[in-house]
Amino acid sequence: MSTYTPHTSAEIQAMLDVVGVKSLEQLYQGLESLFVKDMDLPAGKSQQEVARYFENLAAENKVFGSIFLGAGAYQHYIPPVVKSLLSREEFVTAYTPYQAEMSQGILQGIFEFQTMIAELTGMQVSNASLYDGSTALADGILMLAEKKKNKVLVSEAIHPRSLEVVKTYLIPQGIQIEKVALENGRTSLSDLKAKLTPDVFAVAVAQPNFFGVIEDAAAIGEAVKAAGAGYIMQVEPFACAMLKTPFACGADIAVGEGQPLGMPLSFGGPYLGFVGAREKLVRKLTGRIVGKTADANGNDAYVLTLQAREQHIRREKAASSICSNQALCALTATIYMATAGKTGMKEVASQCVSKAHYLAAEMVKIPGFRLKYSAEFFNEFVTVTDAPADEIIRKCAEKNILAGLKLSEHEILWCSTEVNTKADMDQLLAVLKEVK
């Protein structure tokens, strides 16, 4: 393939002639005063020196042998085929091109992602992805907003970081956020029903919630619908493969973080937000939707169908200011889900549940450890300990183990996925038995 040259020498000279200068250097001659001549920069380094510098910098990172920390970012096995396909040069793009219809391949990739998210959540429509699970939750709540109602109820078990993003989105728009209390780690149905006043337009819960507890999402859905409000669920993708889908629980919108679907832990990103909704909300769906049709010859053709963003419609009517989706991350999730298939997704979910329950059952046998909640959980659980959480985390780090998330002085949120072997868990348990 020849190198792409935007302008030939003859074209450049023709433009210079019109401007009235003889060379590009003469064209920029008057701009010299704008540049700082003495920037006091260090001397340049050779390629070998630069490589050594970054190797030494990387060596300062702590890479743990086993990880029992979740809280929104999870370690899962990523099949080599995912990275192999993603490394193809035609796929390496972070965003959706502004004229995406010029690339049928990119459009088909987005269409397949939308289809898989719709199947996973049970929803009827899905968009072309968002930045992360927190922004997806905030945008999803705004999709349900009504002019005559100004309050949204949010479970206390929503991820605290997601709640901060929701506040950033909603409070400036005059929307009130009220929390729903918990009972044994679950969203309280009695407190929810008491707070479902006429000014509430939406209710948001997580499934499973931040503490790993499985919510009675269907019962919550019935209460929300009886009050005439909208229902949004923030879901973990693998949990969707095992539990009732958000659609089956009566949710209007399902959102979530797609990082577990083939994306490694990487200092917090780049991650992937997904949104699924009932068809009645399709025109309020943020971002873009790719549709499938047929061309003049009857072949499959993919087109941008809806774009509910401020650049295409009047700003005050835009559902979101999202300009692009996480295209490469969405493609990662698509390849991962296609590789795993329905059976593989269920198998990963099953292993997460069984391993987390083994770890919890063995952990509470250790003196000074007990579960905070007795409710059923997915792949995370909270322990209350006699020993300080900081001491437990420090002891684990000494043995090359990344412990769970400290919630308070004596509470830790633990996680286990399919990558944690029995040997890994038994090593953790051995370390915990040494903590006094």
pLDDT tens-digit profile of 4-36? 567 888 999 999 999 999 998 888 887 877 777
Q: Among 3.40.640.10, 3.40.50.720, 3.10.20.30, 2.40.160.40, name the CATH number for the domain at 80-337.
A: 3.40.640.10
> How many residues make up the chain in this entry?
436
Rounded distance between C-alpha atoms, residue 211 and residue 158, angstroms: 9
The answer to whether residues 211 and 240 touch, using CB atoms and an 8 Å cutoff, is: no
Architecture per CATH, domain 66-77+341-434, reads as Alpha-Beta Complex (3.90)
The per-residue DSSP string of 319-345 comes to S-------HHHHHHHHHHHHHHHHHHH
- In 374-426, at which residue ranges do the beta strands (DSSP E only) sit? 380-385, 401-402, 405-408, 411-415
CB atoms within 10 A of CB 317: 8
Enter the tokens of residue 110: 């987005």
- List, in order, residues 6 or more apart from 113 with CB less than 8 Å away: 126, 128, 129, 330, 331, 333, 334
User: Nearest CA to 240 among 208, 205, 274?
Assistant: 208
DSSP structure class, residue 348: H
Domain spans in the chain, listed from the N-terminal domain onward? 66-77+341-434, 80-337
Q: Do domains 66-77+341-434 and 80-337 have the same CATH topology?
A: no
Q: List all residues 6 or more positions away from 109 whose beta carbon is below 8 Å from its beta carbon.
A: 91, 327, 330, 331, 334
Q: What is the dihedral of CA 283, 289, 290, 293, to 10 degrees?
A: -10
**Backbone phi, psi, residue 96, to 5°:** -80, 125
Beta bridge partners of 383: 371, 412
pLDDT of the residue at 95: 57
- Estimate to the nearest angstrom the gap between the alpha carbon of 375 and the chain centroid: 26
**CA torsion through residues 379, 381, 385, 389, sign:** positive
The runs of H, that is alpha helices, within 241-286 are none
Q: Give the pLDDT score at 313.
A: 58
CA atoms within a 13 Å half-sphere pointing along the CA-CB vector of 244: 15
Per DSSP, the three-state class of 1 is: coil
The position carrying tokens 């835009």 is 318
Sheet strands (E) in 97-236? 125-126, 151-155, 176-180, 182-183, 186-187, 200-207, 230-235
User: For residue 295, what are its two tokens?
Assistant: 């061309």
Per-residue pLDDT at 8:
87
Supply the DSSP string of 187-216, one letter for each residue. Answer: E-HHHHHHH--TTEEEEEEEES-TTSBPP-
Helices (H), 242-388: 327-363
Question: How many alpha carbons lie under 13 Å from residue 164 in its C-beta half-sphere?
Answer: 3
How far CA 187 is from CA of 50, 55, 140, 382, in Å, comes to 53, 47, 20, 16
Rounded Cα gap, residues 88 and 68, in angstroms: 33
pLDDT < 50 stretches in the chain? 1-2, 310
- Cβ-based neighbours of 136, under 8 Å, separated by 6 or more: 130, 234, 255, 256, 257, 273, 274, 275
Strand 411-415: give its sheet, edge to edge: 369-371, 380-385, 411-415, 405-408
For the record, the structure tokens of 14 come out as 């023709």
- 264 φψ region: left (φ > 0), alpha (ψ -120 to 50), beta (else): beta
Q: Among all chains, which residue has been given the structure tokens 């090359």? A: 400
- Distance CA(255)–CA(126), nearest Å, equals 10
